[in-house]
Structure 1
Amino acid sequence: MQGKRSIQYILIPLMAALLTTGCGKNFLDLNPEATINSNVFYKNEDEIKQAVNAAYNILQDLGRESYWIFGEMRSDNSAFQYNNADRGREQWEFVDEFLVGATAECIRNFWQDSYIGISRCNDVLAHIDEVTMSDAARNQYTGEVQFLRAFHYFNLVRQFGGVPLRMSAVQSPDSSLSKGRASVEQVYAVIIADLTAAAAKLPAKYNGADVGRASSATASTLLGKVYLTQKKYAEALAELRKVTALGYQLVPNYADIFDPNKKNGPESIFEIQYLGSQTGLFSSFMYTFAPYTSGSAVTGDTKTGINGSGSGWNIPTQDMIAAYEAGDKRKAASLSEGYTINGVFVNIPYVKKYNHGFTEVGRTNDNFPVLRYADVLLMIAECLNEQGFVANGEAFDLLNQVRTRAGLPNKTAAELNSQTAFRNAVFHERQVELAFENHRWYDLVRSGNAVTVMNAHGVREKQQHTYIPSNAYQVSNNRLLLPLPQTDVNLDNLEQNPQ
């Protein structure tokens, strides 16, 4: 009976037809029309497409909470505005302070939502070969869910280490228990196999209503990032070179990347798609990231209250603010150092990247970037440098492309005169270029700098904020991994991460 309770979320796709609807003009039309038993579903191409669409849907939930909590707030980029009157989300604070425990709801949400997404992908793969459709359609849908499954596992393995591998559809609660935690190497092998297959199957790009779906460039970019994380620089470079041949380019104005009116532009490789006009599909980052004391000064929405634990999150730190060089155009597009209310300036910073007004009260239309071309250029520069420092070589050119757009002077070998100096420059550039896009924590870990940087950051945070507990920011190698959710540890008999 415990096994039935422990992983009931794995069975959601079988019980509710994967939140499916008819295939309208946009693949984000995912709201449920009815509950459909899986035995009568997956009978034609239209239903397969609906199921693939539903596999994308869980990214919206993860994007609204888990990705930025664990990708940004866990790093030195952002923290939170302490709300003494509303302690409803204290566990989010504990993530930032390296005090979060295995029973935290945010840990459980991240884990469960990721495995719901994996399960939806497995259901598509279990049924797609039974359905009559063209080879092109079959390849596309298969490649899309292989990419999505790999994306979930990549996030899980980087945050938890080895995790259970669920590679087939669950048919009943009795078969829902896992075989235990796979090794990190085994998880990466699955990720690489899925992304390699997806890159070979998917179209290079999309047009019309399908823009925003995972493409071969999406799969190759993520595969390059996977190899880079493993320090397999030659393999990473080979994948990333494929992307540079597909016509992506840096947009001239950095702020345009995040403009909802310019979604999925020439720099975008993959974004979490939101629709501000549809119930359940809208984003709300502007409200979540606004200081809870700001009223409507940040959002411009006088009908939506900003005064509780739903706001004041992902607040830029002083370390993040200080990371920008003088004249960097990206700073004003990414954050504000405060807001003005009743004619008084309040020095509480907030993220501006996703602040473009509301479509309806409480709803916004901002997408969330996952992979974009500037990231590719910086990853290639990193790979080239790790293979061998070349003064003023191609790696410098790529780094300077990103800096030129930001209005900054070129870096040359007169300033960066060694492999180490160039490596540090690339990681610094990634921090400011990709700020608040959920890359910083992972970059700190793979660079080997997470423990040193976060302990030093913690010292500064404690000096600035008296509410931080004395045992916060005691970062060790063990604490670079999150604890597994205790419910799954107990009911699925999993070994817990040491803390």
Structure 2
Amino acid sequence: MKRLAIYVYALGLLGIFLSSCQKILDKEPSDFVQPENYYNSENDLNFALAGVYDPLGSEYLYASGLWFQFGDCTDESFYPNSSNSFSAPMFYQYDYTNPFVGGLWQECYKGIERANLLLEHIDKPAMDERKRQAIAGEALFLRAYYHFLLVSNFGAVPLKMASTTNVSSVDIPATPAKEVYEQLLQDMREAETKVLKATEIGNASHVSQTTVQGILARVCLYMAGYPLKDETKYGEALEWAKKVVESGEHRLLESYDTGLTNSAYSQIFINHAQDKYDIGECLWEADFNMNEGNSAYAEGGRLGTYQISCVNVDTGYASGGIRTTIKLYNLYGEGDLRRDWAITPFTFESTQTTAVRVPQPANNIINRESGKWRRYFEPNSFIKQQYRTGQNFPILRYADVLLMLAEAENEVNGPTAIAYEAINQVRRRGYGLPVQAYSELADAAPGLAQSDFRQLIMDERARELCFEALRKPDLIRWGTFTDVLSATAEEIMTSNASTTNKSRWVLGYNTAISSPRYLLLPIPALEINVNKAIKQNPGW
């Protein structure tokens, strides 16, 4: 990681008393730091806070799991399985023993345990009170966010509001999903009053006030949709999204910004490759670092390694494991600059010593590769491992906030001028146009009915946010998951791909639509085997 790296690295040297692993030990380990002997200074609190953030960079969260393993196989993308000989989440071949299922669960509870320990000792050191409250706010928010990842993926889960004091007390029943959501909302609302503003923090690694507001809008939209269907939450989502916009702390990166040589949309992701923060555009990022000058703290994710396939050293290795659908390609209108960035119009000739671009044939749409994050923009000074990069993952972007505002406004008040302006700003930027000025080319058709505007939002979220770990949960909360995946499977089978490829690519879709159990992940084996008070999710 970058700004948090030194703290996370130091945590390893201190001995991980912050871990949530429940192991039965017959003696105290010599390198174990007792909580009562820690949290004695502001520096100690910052070390501990870095430990709370650290699971975000896990292989099972934003290094890979949430956006690749569990994010592939939607109407945006699929995994080009070359055989039917192995199982993996990206084509719905998994059960409760899968390491990514267990890893997501374990890493979230690790973050929750660390947050609880920090909050329980937050008042211990003498320090500036404003800084103390900011640390408390970030820990509160992160505890809530880890619970959000759990409840949105697993449904009812144990609500953990205090640190573990007895490792033998492992029989913890699941809390109903609605209660988990209500508690995490309470935590986030409190955190919003404590954390610092984005412009004061100066980077997207730490949670800011507008980060909390934007994620609160997301949480409320999830609660308004399936399975809770609490439509009163649309109004709260609208208020939180408006707060982000009205803060004046964020804006869409535009093509005429000083020094911008690429399209504004592509520059967002080039910045990730080049280790640059843009807090106006990106509110919150999972932070990684592969900078040669800071190699002692190297921590890489896989962003960029599953995009444009290439084996050349100068471009950085990538496997092309995320392929596009015909639907996503056709969603983009003529002149929309996002299409040929998100979906690469070329391949690399991998037999060359120096990579050579080969244009994709016009009739080859399905099976084109995702190109959002491109390794050839990484500076040569960066460490280029085969399956690791320092590219940050954008957990929350300002464009997402605008689209959430438009969605919530449409559900509460219909397709008003407020809803149109929010979605049109995103669309104008996609066409490389000034975001504040009317555009006949980019602006959505006026006078749409509420249902048609709703569909416009669904499509616009795919155009803008594809491959960013949001599509599957969007489809689930909209109640369209099964129908959309069925249509995508039919699209694949009627494409011009070979019969063999089609039968492989459609495998995950046919599995996902075969049972409603795939709307939730199974409670992992590591929990079922230890926790006798928890029940497995239906169908698993």
| TM, length-normalised to structure 2 | 0.79
- Are residues 1:401 and 2:425 paired? yes
- Are residues 1:420 and 2:451 paired? yes
Offset of 1:128 from its aligned partner? 1.2
Match in the other structure for 1:360:
383
Match in the other structure for 1:219:
212
Match in the other structure for 1:371:
396
* Partners of 2:51 and 2:114 within 8 A in 1: yes
1:2-401 superposed matches below 5 A: 26-29=3-6, 30-31=8-9, 32-35=12-15, 36-39=32-35, 40-61=37-58, 62-69=61-68, 72-84=71-83, 90-92=86-88, 95-175=89-169, 177-207=170-200, 211-231=204-224, 232-247=233-248, 248-252=250-254, 253-258=264-269, 259-260=271-272, 261=274, 262-277=276-291, 278=295, 279-291=297-309, 294-296=310-312, 300-301=315-316, 311-341=319-349, 342=351, 348-357=367-376, 358=378, 359-362=382-385, 363-390=388-415, 393-401=417-425
Offset of 1:178 from its aligned partner? 4.5
Offset of 1:211 from its aligned partner? 4.9
Structure 1 residue matching 2:395: 3-state secondary structure: strand
Structure 1 residue matching 2:512: 3-state secondary structure: coil
* Partners of 1:52 and 1:141 within 8 A in 2: yes
Q: 1:164 to 1:461 in 2, by over 3 A?
A: farther
Offset of 1:210 from its aligned partner? 5.5
| Alpha-carbon separation, structure 2, partners of 1:91 and 1:57 | 28
* Partners of 1:314 and 1:350 within 8 A in 2: yes
Q: Which residue identity lines up with residue 238 of structure 1 in the other structure?
A: E
**Structure 1 residues 421-430 or 461-470, which shifts more?**
461-470
Q: 1:216 to 1:207 in 2, by over 3 A?
A: closer
| Greater share of helix | 1
**Structure 1 residues 345-354 or 107-116, which shifts more?**
345-354
- Are residues 1:447 and 2:487 paired? no
* Partners of 2:283 and 2:398 within 8 A in 1: yes
| Alpha-carbon separation, structure 1, partners of 2:209 and 2:331 | 34
Structure 2's unaligned 5+ residue stretches are 16-31, 225-232, 255-263, 432-440
Match in the other structure for 2:18:
none
- Are residues 1:434 and 2:490 paired? no
Give the share of equivalent positions with the same residue, in percent: 28
Match in the other structure for 1:6:
none
Offset of 1:355 from its aligned partner? 1.1
Offset of 1:452 from its aligned partner? 0.9
Q: Which residue identity lines up with residue 216 of structure 1 in the other structure?
A: Q
Offset of 1:332 from its aligned partner? 2.1
| Alpha-carbon separation, structure 1, partners of 2:125 and 2:514 | 51
Match in the other structure for 1:19:
none
Deviation per residue, 1:228-271 (Å, 9 max, x gap) = 22221211111111111222111011112222344233111111
Q: Which residue identity lines up with residue 158 of structure 1 in the other structure?
A: S
| Alpha-carbon separation, structure 2, partners of 1:206 and 1:409 | 31
Q: 1:269 to 1:209 in 2, by over 3 A?
A: closer
Structure 1's unaligned 5+ residue stretches are 1-23
Q: Which residue identity lines up with residue 404 of structure 1 in the other structure?
A: R
Q: 1:483 to 1:433 in 2, by over 3 A?
A: same
Deviation per residue, 1:153-172 (Å, 9 max, x gap) = 11111111111111111134
| TM, length-normalised to structure 1 | 0.85
**RMSD (Å) for aligned C-alpha atoms:** 2.5
Q: Which residue identity lines up with residue 312 of structure 2 in the other structure?
A: S
Deviation per residue, 1:79-104 (Å, 9 max, x gap) = 2122349x6xx332xx2333421111
Match in the other structure for 1:20:
none
Match in the other structure for 2:19:
none
| Alpha-carbon separation, structure 1, partners of 2:450 and 2:221 | 16
Deviation per residue, 1:276-299 (Å, 9 max, x gap) = 2235423332223344xx4229x7
* Partners of 1:98 and 1:475 within 8 A in 2: no
| Alpha-carbon separation, structure 1, partners of 2:237 and 2:4 | 31
Offset of 1:422 from its aligned partner? 0.3
Q: Which residue identity lines up with residue 384 of structure 2 in the other structure?
A: V
Offset of 1:189 from its aligned partner? 1.1
Offset of 1:207 from its aligned partner? 4.1
Q: Which residue identity lines up with residue 234 of structure 1 in the other structure?
A: G
Offset of 1:379 from its aligned partner? 0.9
Structure 1 residue matching 2:267: 3-state secondary structure: helix
Q: Which residue identity lines up with residue 523 of structure 2 in the other structure?
A: L
* Partners of 2:402 and 2:423 within 8 A in 1: yes
Offset of 1:338 from its aligned partner? 4.3
Q: 1:192 to 1:436 in 2, by over 3 A?
A: same
Offset of 1:475 from its aligned partner? 4.2
Offset of 1:191 from its aligned partner? 1.0
* Partners of 2:156 and 2:177 within 8 A in 1: yes
Structure 2 residue matching 1:43: 3-state secondary structure: coil
Q: 1:283 to 1:329 in 2, by over 3 A?
A: same
- Are residues 1:485 and 2:485 paired? no
| Alpha-carbon separation, structure 2, partners of 1:405 and 1:378 | 13
Offset of 1:74 from its aligned partner? 4.4
